């Protein structure tokens, strides 16, 4: 059974720092990995999608990498801002015949001014 782990569970940094969020998964038979952002009490916002054949994806200050063989992904946030404060979730797409996403429990990020 696929298990997705995110470390750390919480992170507090001052504004302007570059930071890395980690996601690991136990079964490398995935077809994609997606990073989401969730603000308190809200739904999920899709940030980046990496297909299993890709190594990384970039969007603005965000860069996500994928090492399928080692079961790891990282989300790099450059020059963090207070508006980046949220919970970040990674989810792996399993190849079960339909798109089943298995989620980690998230990293809660606080960026202080």
Partner 1 sequence: DVKVTQSSRYLVKRTGEKVFLECVQDMDHENMFWYRQDPGLGLRLIYFSYDVKMKEKGDIPEGYSVSREKKERFSLILESASTNQTSMYLCASSLRLDNAAFFGQGTRLTVV
Residues in contact with partner 1 by the rule CB under 8 A: 31-32, 34, 36, 41-46, 49, 51, 89, 91, 93, 98-101, 103-106
Q: Report in angstroms how near the CB of residue 9 gets to partner 1 at its nearest.
A: 10
What are φ and ψ of residue 94, in 5° steps?
-90, 145
Given a contact cutoff of 8 angstroms between Cβ atoms, the answer to whether 62 and 72 are in contact is: no
Nearer Cβ to partner 1, position 37 or 80? 37
Alpha-carbon dihedral sign for residues 30, 60, 82, 43:
negative
Closest separation in Å from C-beta 10 to partner 1: 13
**How far is residue 75's CA from residue 78's CA, in Å, rounded to a whole number?**
10
- Rounded to a whole number of angstroms, the minimum distance from the CB of residue 111 to partner 1 is 22
């Amino acid at each position: 059974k696929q298990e997705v782990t995110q470390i750390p569970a919480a992170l507090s940094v001052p504004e302007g720092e570059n930071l890395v969020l980690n996601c690991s998964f136990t079964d490398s038979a995935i077809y994609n990995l997606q990073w989401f952002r969730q603000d308190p009490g809200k739904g999920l916002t899709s940030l980046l999608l990496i297909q299993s054949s890709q190594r990384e994806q970039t969007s603005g200050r965000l860069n996500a990498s994928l090492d399928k063989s080692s079961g790891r992904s990282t989300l790099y946030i450059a020059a963090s801002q207070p508006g980046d404060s949220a919970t970040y979730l990674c989810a792996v797409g399993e190849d079960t015949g339909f798109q089943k996403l298995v989620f980690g429990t998230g990293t809660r990020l606080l960026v202080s001014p």
